[in-house]
Chains A and B, each alone.
Chain A
Amino acid sequence: MQAIEYFSVECPEALGGEYYEQIANDVLLDHNLLRVISKIHIFIDPKVPLFVAVGTLKRIKTVVRVGDFANVNPLEGKTTLVITDETYLAPMLKIFWERFGKDKVEQPDRFTVILYGVTATPAEIEEIAVADPSESLHKDLIYALRCIAPEGFRLRSEVFSKEKFSYVASENTLAEDIGELVKQKFALMGETPP
């Protein structure tokens, strides 16, 4: 797994900051987000109280195709697919059923799918798009940041773009110049806000 380029937690309370570094690490790892985030800076001030998380995202390969997780072997009028990763098996079967019809698709076991008498060439089958993981990316990221932020910080200002994100939360009304703070935190990573 690729490591995060920049990961830092800033907090006036040293020990509290350490714990939050651990929490952030655990949550991002649990949600499989380390492969997506390129830089992240978290700032917490329990005195205000305020929680700020800013960061940048990696470009991830958007679409998963049949060829990415299955070997397609044509043989005497039938095509056998050997699945190496089950994650996308269900959406793939759904697409096959729609496209070829249920009677032409057979799944003898977990790792094999056989297509009978389909006209598509193996190359065409390999190119079929199955899923787009980036669709749920923002959903996961927002959920993870909510997990990391101290609970009870329910007043939030969030910006999520394709490449960058900022998440500010507090239990009090956010100050008007909060944008300035976000800008400062982005500057620490050598970036500009989205």
Chain B
Amino acid sequence: MTLVPVTYKGGIFQHDIVEDLIEDLGGYIVQKHIIAAEVVLQCFVPREDIELIREISRPLFGEVTDSPLVGTEIAVVSMSLEIHHLPHPSCDIAEYVRRLGAKSNMVSLARGPGKRIAGLNDEERDVINEHDLAVFLLGNFETCIEYKMPTLRRGIEVPIVLAGGPDISVLKKIVDPPVEGYVGNVGRFMRRTKEGEQLLKLDEIVAEITRVLEKKREGIAKDPLSVSPARLMGLIRENVPEILDVTSPTPLTVQMAGLRVKLPYDAFAEKVRKIEIEDGIRLGDIAEVLPSRMRDYILVRILPFSETNTVV
């Protein structure tokens, strides 16, 4: 059974039918938003059952769409929090990938701007490395990108998608060693992205992110995870009821190979480690429970089959 990421959109009336159906089919609901009278569910469902969900939700005016970014956490790295980069383009891009199901976090560098003076500190590096992918939003000049990129990517282990003002061919030429993805002609601009051409550019960024993540997914599939992150999410929710009191929008953030638990590490790490998954296998046996550099959250990294020799 292969689970595929989809988004369900429909009215609030009887939406619990759809929720129950997804869970009965063996799928997982990663995020649920209720906006006025509309419900948006971001979920993983078995590929062969998508038609069934469509069928059953038709009388409820439900809509099922593919969203390849569900279950990923993406860092949108902006060079600073100044008016130069915010709200356009950084927020526009962060918001756009969110629409397609990703959980995006904006990481603003303390000393990102400039050419010679640009830098990345250890906290920023570690926070970026906690994500599935980092989108670097750079400026308009190839001279500056060429000069500062080696500094900014130092120590970054996650795939990088680089967006900058110069053409894509120029970006490919000046970045050495190459990064995983490039999007040209999106540098700094001071206007909202609302016109057709600009929206196409955002689509291009999303397409590039999807392509890079797909590659990462293939890599993970070669050595599968010991447990699906979405399954762990359900288990943590059942076993650590304190998570239900967390007011953050996604108290449990699903990543491609782990998840972020937004509870203090010192108080809850042991409890999370001891959660029993199946037949005496505990979460601590097949995943690392680490302190996150983001606040005092817990980061769960699921180990691959080759290390644990178990798949549950």
Contact = CB atoms under 8 A, between A and B. Distances in A.
Contact of B115 (A15, A23, A27, A49): A49
B114 interface: yes
Interface residues of B, number: 26
Interface in B73-114: 79-80, 82-85, 113-114
A30 B82 CA distance: 17
Interface of B: 79-80, 82-85, 113-118, 139-144, 165-167, 187-191
A16 B118 contact: no
A151 B84 contact: yes
Contacts of A171: 114-117
A20 interface: yes
A69 B144 CA distance: 49
A155 to B, nearest CB: 10
A153 B116 CA distance: 10
Nearest to B165: A19
A16 B116 contact: no
A26 interface: yes
Interface residues of A, number: 21
A23 B190 contact: yes
A13 interface: yes
A11 to B, nearest CB: 8
Contact of A26 (B82, B117, B190): B190
Given A150-B113, A151-B113, A171-B116, A22 B189 contact: yes
Interface of A: 13, 15-16, 19-20, 22-23, 26-27, 30, 44, 46-47, 49, 147, 150-153, 171-172
Contacts, number: 71
A19 B140 contact: yes
Given A151-B113, A152-B114, A15 B167 contact: yes
Contact of A151 (B82, B142, B191): B82
Contacts of B190: 22-23, 26-27, 30, 147
B113 A49 contact: no
Contacts of A22: 189-191
Contact of B113 (A13, A20, A44, A152): A152
Given A147-B84, A150-B139, A23 B189 contact: yes
13 contacts: A15-B167, A16-B140, A16-B141, A19-B188, A23-B188, A26-B190, A27-B190, A49-B114, A147-B190, A150-B113, A151-B85, A152-B115, A152-B117
